[in-house]
Amino acid sequence: MSTSPDPLVSFQELVLRGPSGTPARPFEWAVYPGEQWAITGPMASGKSLLARAVAGLGPLSDKGLWSVELGAGRWQVRSQVSYVTFDGPPQGEALFHQARWHSHLAVESPTVDGSLSIDNIRRRNPYEVREDRRPEELHAFQAHRSRVIADLDLAPLLERRLHHLSDGEWRRVRIGWALLGAPRLLVLDDPFTGLDSDFRVRLRQVLAQLMAGGTQLILVIPDLVDLPRGITHILALDGHGHALSGRRSAILPELDAAAHSRRSGCGGGTEQATAAAAFQAAETRSAPAIEMQGVSVVHDGIVVLQDVSWTVRRGERWALVGPNGAGKSTLLSLILGDHPQAYANRIKLFGRWRGSGESIWEIKRRIGWVAPELQRYFPLEVTTADLVASGFYDTLGLHRSCSAEQLAQVSRWLERFGLSEHAARPFRALSKGEQRLALIARALVKGPELLVLDEPCQGLDAAHVARVLQALGGLVTPDQNSDEPSRATAHAMIYVTHRPEEFPRNLTHILELQEGRVVRQAALTSDPTP
């Protein structure tokens, strides 16, 4: 007589309770040996919170936003679960964004090679007194390490410091770190976000191989387009505390039908489908906002940018594209004044040469900025309203009072992005997608002359991507005396994304980087995809 295997993780009465506190129907969920699960759902549906619960991590509440009641939860492999998230700065990095570019502050930051050592992977104290490891243990680890490095193409990064990696490169290293731990159950929270298109394909193949080799996976994946082969089951959250779960073959048709209905209802499908076909070619001769002449940047002997010359004029809206590690973030840091090598290069902003006596705050006052790194560094206790208001002063947190006019602007942008009900909530209480919306509102609130948007839609679901693209469609800024936005055609914009469907419709030019060099610079007449 055969018996069913015991589940690795099981919850008999699992309840997801949202911001309204409305009771949701308890449901059961179990992960059995051999099953490979994806957790999906719209923004702020509790996906990450549930993933942490699976890993046995707390707290099980986002401070009143979402809570998880486990009921009779049971784990058989809690000590063999590895949970990987991409929140927070890389290991060893200083706790402020500008430190990333200051090499003298990175002395303590480990290299990628060191971070993937056996001692670091197995969390051993370097001062621990112990016998030498058995040669066969070291040999097995090194063989596994070589495979992971090859699978994730980490060899070119080994001598780099974590401190200097781009967001996409750091994510690749973090995934490699998890794979080297060889867990029985691996929980990956949104690993595809921030990766370029080629590496997303590669990661899907790596995860499929991993599952075929016997590792069990629970994958938090907002966008099912990246669903890898080998996923056998899907748990779909609907954003209201309810869940749909079952085998992949049964769940996918229902989700496809629901997604089509949502796109039709919100208009997002039309916005994204026509985006690539609606770019406007624009040859302007307005005054330059940015001028770069032969710009080069070197870190620890590694050339990051080489001989970049680029002019962005007022009214132009540029797509900045290239794979992870191409030099995009470094280029933006020179514009924002965060990189010290800006003063060793010929860079003119708003008609003034960098280093001619201007302060960094004079530059930042004219620029609105969003980037994945900003989300990791922003103080978690600041309220959502204060976060948006800090955009007037370009500070991480609000340290001075706002005028009534400024507060009215904050309220308009919160309403524009559906965040009004969260105005008094701390930043940490928002989902990752809601945090990103708040940071976009922060960048737009002062109506800056230049918008620098680095992966602004990262972590947003399709409906909220459509909302952001609509707001950016004419570089609009809410007018202080009207409930309707007014066009601000004098703005310039630089927009970075690895997902073509996230490009706004009004881009006029493209700059493409490969290995720190410019390989394309042109006015757009069609799809900016490389």
Query: Do 162 and 283 sit in the same domain of this protein?
Result: no
* 219: β partners: 38, 188
Query: Do 209 and 62 sit in the same domain of this protein?
Result: yes
Query: Do 173 and 152 sit in the same domain of this protein?
Result: yes
Residues 168 and 497: their CA atoms lie apart, in Å, by 11
Residues 6+ apart with CB under 8 A from 449: 289, 314, 350, 366, 367, 490, 491, 492
Token look-up 């955009």 returns 391
Tokens found for residue 272: 């994204």
Domains in the chain: how many in total?
3
Nearest to 248 by CA among 30, 37, 5: 37
Phi-psi region of 198 (alpha: psi -120 to 50; beta: other; left: phi over 0): alpha
Sheet (strand 288-299) strand order: 302-313, 288-299, 346-349, 352-353
Domain boundary among 218, 248, 266: 266
Sign, CA dihedral 497-503-506-508, equals: positive
Tokens found for residue 325: 């590690």
Query: Do 410 and 345 sit in the same domain of this protein?
Result: no
Question: For residue 337, what pLDDT is reported?
Answer: 82
The maximal CA–CA distance of the chain, rounded, in angstroms, is 84
The type of residue at 325 is G
Token look-up 């809690």 returns 78
Query: Do 282 and 407 sit in the same domain of this protein?
Result: no
**Residue 154, in any domain of the structure:** yes
Residues 12 and 437: their CA atoms lie apart, in Å, by 35
Residues 172 and 175: their CA atoms lie apart, in Å, by 5
Q: How many of the other CB atoms lie within 10 Å of CB of 330?
A: 24
Token look-up 């015991």 returns 6
Q: What is the DSSP letter of 224?
A: G
Whether residue 222 has a cis bond before it, omega within 30° of 0: no
N- to C-terminal Cα separation, the chain: 59
Distance of CA 438 to CAs 387, 389, 428, 488, Å? Answer: 7, 10, 12, 21
Q: At 344, which CATH number? A: 3.40.50.300
Under a CB-based contact definition with an 8 Å cutoff, are residues 96 and 158 in contact? no
Domain boundary among 266, 282, 305: 266
Residues 263 and 106: their CA atoms lie apart, in Å, by 45
Question: For residue 280, what pLDDT is reported?
Answer: 42
**Residue 467, in any domain of the structure:** no
Query: Do 262 and 286 sit in the same domain of this protein?
Result: no
**Residue 496, in any domain of the structure:** no
Under a CB-based contact definition with an 8 Å cutoff, are residues 35 and 233 in contact? yes
Q: What is the DSSP letter of 4?
A: P
Query: Do 274 and 234 sit in the same domain of this protein?
Result: no
**3-state SS, residue 522:** strand
**Residue 2, in any domain of the structure:** no
Residues 177 and 186: their CA atoms lie apart, in Å, by 12
Q: How many of the other CB atoms lie within 10 Å of CB of 481?
A: 8
Q: What is the DSSP letter of 134?
A: P
**Strand pairing category for 37-40 and 233-237:** parallel
Tens digits of residue pLDDT in 35-73:
999 999 888 788 888 888 788 775 444 444 444 554 445
Residues 430 and 229: their CA atoms lie apart, in Å, by 31
Nearest to 234 by CA among 225, 224, 190: 224
Q: How many of the other CB atoms lie within 10 Å of CB of 237?
A: 21
**Residue 160, in any domain of the structure:** yes
Query: Do 122 and 253 sit in the same domain of this protein?
Result: yes
Question: For residue 258, what pLDDT is reported?
Answer: 59
* 297: β partners: 305
Tens digits of residue pLDDT in 282-311:
445 688 999 999 999 987 788 999 999 999
Under a CB-based contact definition with an 8 Å cutoff, are residues 453 and 443 in contact? yes
289: enclosing H helix or E strand: strand 288-299
Under a CB-based contact definition with an 8 Å cutoff, are residues 461 and 222 in contact? yes
> Could you write out the DSSP letters of every residue in 381-405?
TSBHHHHHHGGGTT-SS--SPPPHH
Query: Do 191 and 288 sit in the same domain of this protein?
Result: no
The type of residue at 292 is M
Query: Do 180 and 309 sit in the same domain of this protein?
Result: no
**Residue 468, in any domain of the structure:** no
Query: Do 235 and 304 sit in the same domain of this protein?
Result: no
Q: Which domain holds residue 331?
A: 267-366+449-460+501-525
Nearest to 160 by CA among 118, 84, 103, 95: 103
Full-model pTM: 0.81
121: enclosing H helix or E strand: helix 118-121
**Residue 475, in any domain of the structure:** no
Under a CB-based contact definition with an 8 Å cutoff, are residues 368 and 443 in contact? yes
Query: Do 30 and 44 sit in the same domain of this protein?
Result: yes
Name residues of the chain where pLDDT drops below 70. 1-4, 16-24, 58-79, 88-108, 123-133, 257-285, 474-490, 526-530
**Residue 517, in any domain of the structure:** yes
Residues 36 and 211: their CA atoms lie apart, in Å, by 7
Token look-up 């900045």 returns 320
